[in-house]
């Protein structure tokens, strides 16, 4: 079997090498001729799989993307050609949920959002939206879910309406980018929606840039008194509107899903699909590759000094992942499309919360210990 893979799939050689010939290509360099006689194409969101790209693909049986989003695949064309395609659904849901949590923790500390009173509107209750709702449940933060497709499919969770979402203190977007059909998301946050948002609200987009009308967003933010905005994703990546950044509270280069766990899981899922194709039982697993998590030390006494029972969780979440570091790095490093892609592909090693061992300066009270354990921390 011959496999062509985008080099940014971590561990691709380790996972795919045993199937036969596996050869990588750098982002933006794949040509149609390089797919001649290949059975499998493994990509991330930075390879657009179009009819033109597959022009010479005479043997292609499987296109696998190690990502949750699929809007870079022409799935209609693949279906029409009888080429099986798969995505790594849910691989990085926890990563994105923890990105949003890190944003919320910072917003709480900076008095942008009072997490004890705030209501979070989660738009899209799939893998990411659900992972986020579980984190908010642990912390006792109120939220509502909006997901008409799931409601229509009979999902029994309580769903709210669009107007209620637009009145939430925090609106966080976790939908796929869809242009057609009954539930399009293209510019679902448009000029009219933006006009109704106030300076008391926080708007987070970590799904796809095109879900917000960015031209309207910039105009709204330039006019003043607009919502606080956090963007991980932008229209027209990697050639983004850098001028927009000055109006955003936090901005990051599409790395919300880029934990080590999220990226390795994506490759693992593509590997499992190839095993399936080859009629083999998967022998490799994430545990073969994931390094141990570092230990954390936290002074709980200091944390709870502020009389805030969210303080220990916030301190720990931010000690594992503080989105502000990525924001600072992005703003310093952005100099055109090449740097946007480079910052994504050379992203630092980021780990998820679960499994971190925590040494506390004092025994936490039982409610806080339970909360931290439910976030996945191992209290020593």
Ligand X SMILES: O=C(O)C(=O)[C@H](O)COP(=O)(O)O
Ligand Y SMILES: NC(=O)C1=CN([C@@H]2O[C@H](COP(=O)(O)OP(=O)(O)OC[C@H]3O[C@@H](n4cnc5c(N)ncnc54)[C@H](O)[C@@H]3O)[C@@H](O)[C@H]2O)C=CC1
Q: Which residues are annotated as a binding site?
A: 45, 67, 147, 232, 257
When asked if residue 96 is in the footprint of ligand Y (CB under 6 A), the reply is yes
Query: Known catalytic residue: 356?
Result: no
CB of 216 to ligand Y, least distance (A): 18
Query: Known catalytic residue: 208?
Result: yes
With CB under 6 A as the contact rule, the residue among 174, 293, 344, 356 that binds ligand Y is 174
Buried-state track 242-251, b at ≥16 Cβ within 10 A, e below 16: bebbebbbbb
Q: Which is nearer to ligand X, 257 or 312 (CB)?
A: 257
With CB under 6 A as the contact rule, the residue among 25, 64, 67, 121 that binds ligand X is 67
When asked if residue 44 is in the footprint of ligand X (CB under 6 A), the reply is yes
Q: Which of residues 302-361 bind ligand X (CB under 6 A)?
A: 344
CA distance 325 to 329: 6
Q: Which residues contact 366 (CB under 8 A, 6 or more apart)?
A: none
Instruction: Identify which range of 171-179, 214-222, 268-276, 322-330 contacts ligand Y by CB under 6 A.
Output: 171-179
CB 206 within 8 A of CB 174: yes
When asked if residue 268 is in the footprint of ligand X (CB under 6 A), the reply is no
Strand-pairing partners, residue 229, are 203
CB 8 within 8 A of CB 47: no
Using CB under 6 A as the criterion, what x/- string covers residues 153-192 for binding ligand X? ----------------------------------------
Q: Which of residues 175-234 bind ligand Y (CB under 6 A)?
A: 175-178, 183, 185, 206-208, 232-233
Among 237, 261, 272, 352, the active-site one is: 237
Buried-state track 281-303, b at ≥16 Cβ within 10 A, e below 16: eeebeeeeeeeebeebebebeeb
When asked if residue 93 is in the footprint of ligand Y (CB under 6 A), the reply is yes
Query: Could you tell me which of 274, 311, 292 has the C-alpha nearest to residue 351?
Result: 292
Q: Is 180 helix (H, G, I), strand (E, B) or coil?
A: coil
Using CB under 6 A as the criterion, what x/- string covers residues 99-138 for binding ligand Y? ------------------------xxxxxxx---------
Chain position carrying tokens 């242009």 = 179
CB 15 within 8 A of CB 284: yes
CB of 102 to ligand X, least distance (A): 15
Q: Which residues contact 348 (CB under 8 A, 6 or more apart)?
A: none
CB of 282 to ligand X, least distance (A): 21
When asked if residue 68 is in the footprint of ligand X (CB under 6 A), the reply is yes
Among 4, 174, 208, 351, the active-site one is: 208
Residues in the interface with ligand Y (CB under 6 A) total 34
Q: Is 232 helix (H, G, I), strand (E, B) or coil?
A: coil
Q: Is the dihedral of CA 321, 327, 330, 332 positive or negative?
A: negative
CB of 221 to ligand X, least distance (A): 24
Tokens standing for 94? Answer: 């926890």
Buried-state track 131-143, b at ≥16 Cβ within 10 A, e below 16: bbbebbebbebeb
Query: Known catalytic residue: 254?
Result: yes
Q: Which is nearer to ligand Y, 133 or 371 (CB)?
A: 133
Residue 312, Cβ density class (10 Å: 0-12 exposed, 13-18 middle, ≥19 buried): buried
Residue 29, Cβ density class (10 Å: 0-12 exposed, 13-18 middle, ≥19 buried): exposed
Write out the residues near ligand X by the rule CB under 6 A.
Answer: 8, 44-46, 67-69, 92, 257-258, 344
Write out the residues near ligand Y by the rule CB under 6 A.
Answer: 68-69, 89-90, 92-93, 96, 123-129, 146-150, 174-178, 183, 185, 206-208, 232-233, 254, 256-257
Q: Which residues are catalytic?
A: 208, 237, 254
């Amino acid at each position: 079997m011959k496999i062509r893979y985008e080099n940014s799939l971590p561990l691709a050689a380790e996972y795919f090498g045993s199937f036969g010939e596996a050869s990588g290509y750098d982002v933006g360099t794949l040509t149609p001729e390089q797919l001649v006689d290949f059975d499998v194409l493994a990509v991330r969101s930075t390879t657009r799989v179009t009819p033109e790209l597959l022009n010479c693909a005479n043997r292609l049986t499987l296109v696998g993307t190690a990502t949750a989003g699929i809007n870079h695949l022409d799935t209609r064309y693949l279906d029409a050609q009888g080429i099986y395609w798969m995505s790594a659904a849910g691989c990085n849901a926890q990563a994105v949920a923890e990105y949003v949590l890190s944003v919320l923790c910072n917003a709480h500390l900076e008095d942008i959002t009072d997490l004890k009173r705030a209501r979070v509107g989660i738009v899209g209750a799939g893998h990411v939206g659900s992972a986020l709702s579980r984190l908010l449940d642990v912390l006792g933060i109120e939220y509502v879910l909006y997901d008409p497709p799931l409601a229509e499919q009979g999902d029994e969770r309580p769903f709210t309406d669009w107007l209620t979402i637009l009145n939430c203190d925090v609106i966080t977007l976790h939908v796929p980018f869809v242009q057609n059909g009954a539930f399009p998301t293209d510019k679902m946050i448009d000029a009219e929606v933006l006009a109704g948002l106030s300076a008391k609200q926080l708007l987070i987009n970590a799904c796809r840039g095109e879900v917000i009308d960015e031209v309207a967003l910039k105009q709204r933010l330039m006019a003043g008194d607009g919502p606080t905005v956090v963007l991980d994703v932008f229209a027209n990546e990697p050639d983004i509107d850098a001028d927009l950044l000055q109006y955003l509270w936090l901005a990051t280069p599409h790395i919300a899903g880029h934990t080590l766990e999220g990226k390795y899981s994506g490759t693992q899922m593509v590997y499992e699909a190839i095993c399936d194709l080859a009629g083999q039982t998967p022998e490799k697993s994430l545990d073969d590759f994931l390094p141990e998590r570092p230990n954390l030390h936290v002074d709980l006494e200091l944390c709870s000094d502020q009389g805030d029972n969210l303080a220990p969780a916030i301190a720990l979440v931010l000690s594992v992942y503080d989105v502000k570091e990525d924001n600072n790095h992005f703003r310093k490093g952005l100099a055109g499309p090449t740097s946007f892609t480079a910052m994504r592909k050379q992203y630092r090693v980021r780990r998820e919360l679960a499994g971190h061992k925590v040494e506390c300066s004092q025994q936490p009270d039982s409610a806080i210990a339970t909360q931290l354990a439910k976030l996945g921390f191992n209290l020593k």
